[in-house]
Every structure is written in C-alpha cells, then in structure tokens.
Homo-oligomer: A and B are copies of this chain.
Amino acid sequence: MSDDALVIFTPSGKRGRVAKGTSVLEAARKLGVDLDSVCGGRGICSKCQVAPGVGEFPKHGLTVAEDALSPINAVEERYDRVRGLKPGRRLGCQACVQGDIVIDVPPESQVHKQVIRKSATERAMEMDPATRAFFVEVPEPRMDDPKGDFERLARALEDDWGIEGVEADLSVLRKLQPALRKGGWKVTVAVNDARDGNRPRIVQIWPDYRDAPLYGLAIDLGSTTIAGHLVDLTDGRVLASGGVMNPQIRFGEDLMSRVSYSMMNAGGADEMTAAVRAALGDLAASLAEEGSIGPDEIVEAVVVCNPVMHHLLLGIDPVELGQAPFALATGTALDIAATEIGMGNLAPAARSYILPLIAGHVGADAAGVALSEAPETRDELSLIVDVGTNAEILLGNRSRVLACSSPTGPAFEGAQISSGQRAAPGAIERIEIDPVTKDPRFRIIGNEHWSNEPEFGDPQITGICGSGIIEAVAEMRMAGLLDGSGLIGSAEQTGTLRCQPMGRTHEYVIHDASPDGPRITVTQGDIRAIQLAKSALYAGARLLMDEMGVETVDRVVLAGAFGAHISAKHAMVLGMIPDAPLANVSSAGNAAGTGARMALCSVKARRGIEQQVRRITKIETAIEPRFQEHFVAANALPHATAPFPELSKIVTLPDVNFNTGGGDDGGRRRRRRG
C-alpha cells in the first residue's frame, strides 16, 4: 500500500500526491489551492470547510472510498454541535487524507472567490482583498529571550502564514502588549499586503480569535456629494450605504470656483482640505453605526474622486488644475494612511487606496467607471457617461478607449435650478406634460403614484431633482412650450396660463400651492442652465467620437448616482447624449462607486486599473477648439434626426420660435469651466 494518496481539488482542478495523514488544509497549501483559513488550522474559524466527494469520478478515473478521509473528529463534532456544519462538509484543517480523493472547495471557502453581483449587466467581482485577518499564537516573552513582543508576533506570522518582514505603525504597536496579554498570547491581526514594493503592515489587532469579517469603505467623493459604502471584505457584501453633502460647497459650487477660492485666499486650500477630511471621518462613523460595527473594525478605505477633489483631499493646492496644461501634482494610485485623509477613527493603521487619475481633468472617479464598466473588454463601442458636476466620459471598445471630462456644472444634480433640490423624498423625479392641455402630471420620490391619480394623496412636494428637471425641460419642448432655442413662450404664444411672465422672460408653473405651499416652476434661467449642462456633456461625447472617427456608438451607459434615474428618452430629446437605439441605453448606477468597491475587494482590480489607466487615451476638452464648436452647436433643443420608433414623438417636435427680442440671451452665454 502506498504511503501517499492522490488529491484532486475542484473547481480548480489542481491535483497532486500528498503523504497519507496530511490534513486537507495542508494539502491545499502544498498544491497551491485557494482554501481560506484565518485560525491557521486550529479548528476555530471554520473558513476551511470543504466538501469531499465519495464514489465514482469517471472524469478523473477515480473511485473514492468512504474512508478516503479520516473520520469526523472531536473538533469537528464540537463545531457541528455548537455552530452547525452543513451536511457533507468537513473542516479542512481536521480531516486528513487517507486515500485517493476528490475534494470540492465551495466558493465561501475561497479567499479569491467570484462574487456575482446582483444586476445581470454587472460583472462578476473577484475577491482578492488587500487586508486579511490572521489568527496567531505568540510565544510568551522569556527573560532569557529579550526579543520584543512585536518581533515574536512577526516571527509567528512568518512561520504560520509565510508573511515576511511585516511592519507595524506606532498606533498598532501601542495596542500590541495589552492585546497579547488580554488574549492569552493569542491575537487576530489584520495585515495589509497591497504589494506595492513595500513591506506588509499590521493595521489592526484584536485579543484572541476574532470571529467577524474585516470591513472596508468604498467612497465616491464628488464635488457635491460624498457617497460611501461599508463593505464586508470577505465577500464584498454592502452592509450600509450613505451620503453626505460635500462641505466644500460653501467655498464654491463647482470645482473651478473652489480652485479660485484657493487662489484668492491664503490658506484657502487648507480650509477646504480640512472640511472634506472632516466629512470623510463623519461619513465613516455614520456608516459604521448604520452597519452596527465599530469604526475601528474598518481596515481600509478606497476613494474615487475628480482631480480637484483629489488634490484638495491630499492637501495639495489645486491651483495648477485651474490653468493649462492642467498639471497634476501626482496621478498614480496612492496607498496612504487613512488618518492622513481624515479617517482617524478607523482601525489604527487603516490604509486608504486612491485610484489613479486619468489626466488633469479626468479623475479617479473616471478610473472607477473604467474599472467597473470595462469598455476594453467588449467588441461593441460603448459610450459611458458619468453625470455629475463634472461629467466623465469614456468611449471605447477592445481596440481603444478614450476619456475626457466635461464641465456640466451642478444643474443635473438639481443645484442652480430655481426649484431644484437633491434627490430626496418629496422631490419631483418624473413629469409628463399633456401636449394638448399643456398641463403636467408628475411623480415624487417616495410616492408610487402620478400626481393626477387619487392614490397620490396630499404629500409634501418640495422641489425638482435632477432627473425631474431633465424630464421637465424635454416635456416642455415636446409640448411646444419651448422653442428650438430654448425660449419659454408666453401664455399667449403657448395657449396656457401656466406660462407666466417673470421679468423679461417666462416661467412654467408645474405646481402652485402658494401662499401656504410651494410654488414649483421652471424658469428661463433653469432652461439655460440645463442647456449649458447638456451641451457640455454632448460636446464631450462628440469630441471623443471625432477622435475615434465614428458618427454613432453601439451602446450608451448612463452612470453616476443620478445617471441611474435619467430617462433615456428624455435625455435624447434634450440632446444630452448622441442618438443610439433606446434598447442599448442602459444605466450603470454609481459606476465610479462600484469601481471603488471593486478596488476595495481586490488587489488584482487595483493593479488592473492602474495598467488600464496608462493605456487610456486622454482628450483635454478645455483646449480643444472642436469642443467649443460642438458646445455651441449643441445648445439648441433639436428636432430628432434619427428614425427611432421609440422616439416617434420627437420627429413631431413643434417648430416654434418665441424670440421677440426680449431679455434672454438665447443661452449663448458661456459657462466657466468647473
């Protein structure tokens, strides 16, 4: 009888011979099979559960005997009694190989598991976390062995886990001795090994075995809002999501006004840096509370943001980003202490990873979108538009990916709109205008019914959010309330008293409960703001299409927290995006945030996007004369030109002209970059 046995692991297919008596966990390590373990084979963590096969395996030419694994032992019995072991499962650290066998490693026992995300359009995410927990027993100090507690811990990490040359910040070192003593010389440590040419680092330490996941934060730091997800680093699950306003808004609504604030006020950049860092700390605390965990259980944060926010977050004066050639101080991905960017409440030495910037005006948020949407993996030509205060635009396919950003301003987010507001309960998010009566009906966030339905009731109506204003403007155009230049007609011209004079122009009244309630209107100024925003967006997309030498794209992806709510039809009526088959216009939700989440869960994803960013061709809109041409040309609210059946209404857009030489400048006022 042979002294060793054949072990075949599925689904990896890795196989090899091991000495009989070898534990399944040891066999997996020896054969390079991805089998998780936190406790290092002490029968505590149960991460190494496997499903051994018994019987015939014709594919492998193998018959596995009942006794190919050692019988269930006391540790497994106890574990099953106390916590329950799924039928057919064994603890890989306890079960020993006694004969040829096929062993399946279920996804939850793999460190680098594939996590299928909910939406069918989203890609599977591979877990490859930068920070992992390790349970170690540390030899007690002895008078005759003067090595420090840390040195003995480092040695144990090397011996048990093969982690070499581990370092610890002072913040961790000061917790070390109490933790070791409280845990009876057993501790669980979180080790970050992001492999960027530096040594692995202990970022947190707990006494004894810690039976809980490590957590991370994925943060999308926008000019207007800061959105964050609290993520389980074991499986990528989102425990809590939340957002706060970016407190820098008080220094300027758009990026360029913040750059100006910095240029015109000594210490202005530092003020803005302090404000955004404080907000990040607060966001981390509130997400931890919502997720019912301690903030110090968060071991990592990944941030995506545009270049100006990036520099302000890092404490770098963004002045160079306000003028050609828009030189970044640094654009590569950064791996720094989370305390350095305001999150001093996380694990003591928690790290933060900031995705690479693409160019002076195309940020880490665009890199997040590129990571999440991966246009380079498709044959079809994708146009990906992340709509925010700045729009990040990507165009590409397998052969080539282009990127630019376009200064849309905050109008799409409901800011600088007279009745505008953030997307929150009470905000009008959808609207239809009857082309005959010119009367609107609408829906508000938090209410499933249209305003003309009895079930709508009498809710509080507070304003219009970004998607609502886009629909309002498009519907006004379709109902003949706007002419092709964007001018609102008078009551006389439009035949509805909802068009009221307002100074030298007009406004359209959507809802009027005055004097006791809100009066919600769309003013001529609102129309102009939306025209400017949509022209900028369209011009950016067209610029990339010129560069790519195409007149159409195969698919359009609307990304951004707000992009998810935009009606593709209305966006196309407005001319926000180039024409494409409506069926091929999809929403990717907050793709930048998703990219942050992917980078949070996977070092491989970080290295991937770092490489991809170097391959992306950057187009600078600010100095490109064609951008200005496209911008001016896109200002009108056009007739539809493409024969899309879904948009049959568009071809009947009324060809009216309300211009009577009044006070409106026809939307030709230029926006400042921002």
A-side residues, CB < 8 A to B, are 141-144, 146-151, 165, 167-168, 170, 173-174, 176-178, 196-199, 314-317, 319-320, 324-332, 336, 340, 357-360, 362, 618, 620, 623
Complex CA gap A168/B340 in Å reads 13
Complex CA gap A425/B142 in Å reads 46
Residue contact A143 to B330, C-beta cutoff 8 Å: no
With contacts A177-B320, A199-B197, A316-B173 taken as known, whether A143 is within 8 angstroms of B331 at the C-beta atoms is no
B residues less than 8 Å from A197 (CB atoms): 165, 198-199
Residue contact B623 to A148, C-beta cutoff 8 Å: no
Nearest chain B residue, comparing its CB with the CB of A327: B141
B residues less than 8 Å from A336 (CB atoms): 170
Complex CA gap A340/B199 in Å reads 19
Residue contact B165 to A324, C-beta cutoff 8 Å: no
Complex CA gap A504/B324 in Å reads 88
Given contact pairs A144-B620, A170-B336, A178-B317, a sample of 18 additional A-B residue pairs in the complex whose CB atoms are under 8 Å apart: A141-B326, A143-B623, A146-B359, A146-B360, A146-B362, A146-B620, A148-B329, A148-B330, A149-B329, A150-B329, A150-B331, A167-B198, A170-B314, A170-B340, A173-B314, A176-B329, A176-B330, A177-B327
B residues less than 8 Å from A331 (CB atoms): 146-148, 150-151
A425 smallest CB distance to B (angstroms): 40
Nearest chain B residue, comparing its CB with the CB of A270: B174
Nearest chain B residue, comparing its CB with the CB of A618: B146
A324 smallest CB distance to B (angstroms): 6
B residues less than 8 Å from A320 (CB atoms): 149, 177
Complex CA gap A141/B325 in Å reads 7
A584 smallest CB distance to B (angstroms): 30
Residue contact A315 to B177, C-beta cutoff 8 Å: no
Complex CA gap A623/B143 in Å reads 9
Of the A-B pairs whose beta carbons lie under 8 Å apart in the complex, a sample of 24, sorted by A's number, is A141-B326, A143-B326, A143-B623, A146-B331, A146-B358, A146-B360, A146-B618, A147-B328, A148-B329, A149-B328, A149-B329, A150-B329, A150-B332, A151-B331, A167-B198, A170-B315, A170-B316, A170-B340, A173-B314, A177-B316, A177-B327, A178-B317, A196-B199, A198-B199
One of B142, B173, B360 near A330 (C-beta < 8 A): B173
Complex CA gap A99/B490 in Å reads 93
B residues less than 8 Å from A326 (CB atoms): 141, 143
Complex CA gap A177/B331 in Å reads 13
B residues less than 8 Å from A199 (CB atoms): 196-198
Residue contact B143 to A174, C-beta cutoff 8 Å: no
Residue contact A148 to B317, C-beta cutoff 8 Å: no
Complex CA gap A439/B68 in Å reads 96
Complex CA gap A150/B311 in Å reads 13
One of B170, B315, B327, B357 near A174 (C-beta < 8 A): B315
With contacts A177-B320, A327-B149, A336-B170 taken as known, whether A620 is within 8 angstroms of B143 at the C-beta atoms is yes
Residue contact A143 to B317, C-beta cutoff 8 Å: no
Nearest chain B residue, comparing its CB with the CB of A336: B170
A573 smallest CB distance to B (angstroms): 34
A357 smallest CB distance to B (angstroms): 7
Complex CA gap A117/B358 in Å reads 53
B residues less than 8 Å from A330 (CB atoms): 148-151, 168, 173, 176
B residues less than 8 Å from A147 (CB atoms): 328, 331
B residues less than 8 Å from A329 (CB atoms): 148-150, 173-174, 176-177
Complex CA gap A148/B330 in Å reads 4
Complex CA gap A147/B359 in Å reads 7
Complex CA gap A173/B328 in Å reads 11
B residues less than 8 Å from A325 (CB atoms): 141-143
B residues less than 8 Å from A168 (CB atoms): 330
Complex CA gap A359/B324 in Å reads 58
Kindly list the 10 A-B residue pairs having the minimum CB-CB distance in the complex, ordered from nearest.
Answer: A146-B359, A148-B328, A141-B327, A148-B331, A150-B330, A148-B330, A143-B325, A146-B618, A198-B198, A197-B199
With contacts A165-B197, A314-B173, A314-B174 taken as known, whether A324 is within 8 angstroms of B143 at the C-beta atoms is yes
Complex CA gap A326/B143 in Å reads 7
Complex CA gap A262/B566 in Å reads 61
Nearest chain B residue, comparing its CB with the CB of A616: B146
Complex CA gap A196/B165 in Å reads 9
A512 smallest CB distance to B (angstroms): 50
Nearest chain B residue, comparing its CB with the CB of A152: B327
B residues less than 8 Å from A167 (CB atoms): 198
B residues less than 8 Å from A144 (CB atoms): 620
Nearest chain B residue, comparing its CB with the CB of A357: B148
B residues less than 8 Å from A316 (CB atoms): 170, 173-174, 176-177
A286 smallest CB distance to B (angstroms): 25
Complex CA gap A618/B141 in Å reads 14
Complex CA gap A176/B326 in Å reads 15
A459 smallest CB distance to B (angstroms): 48
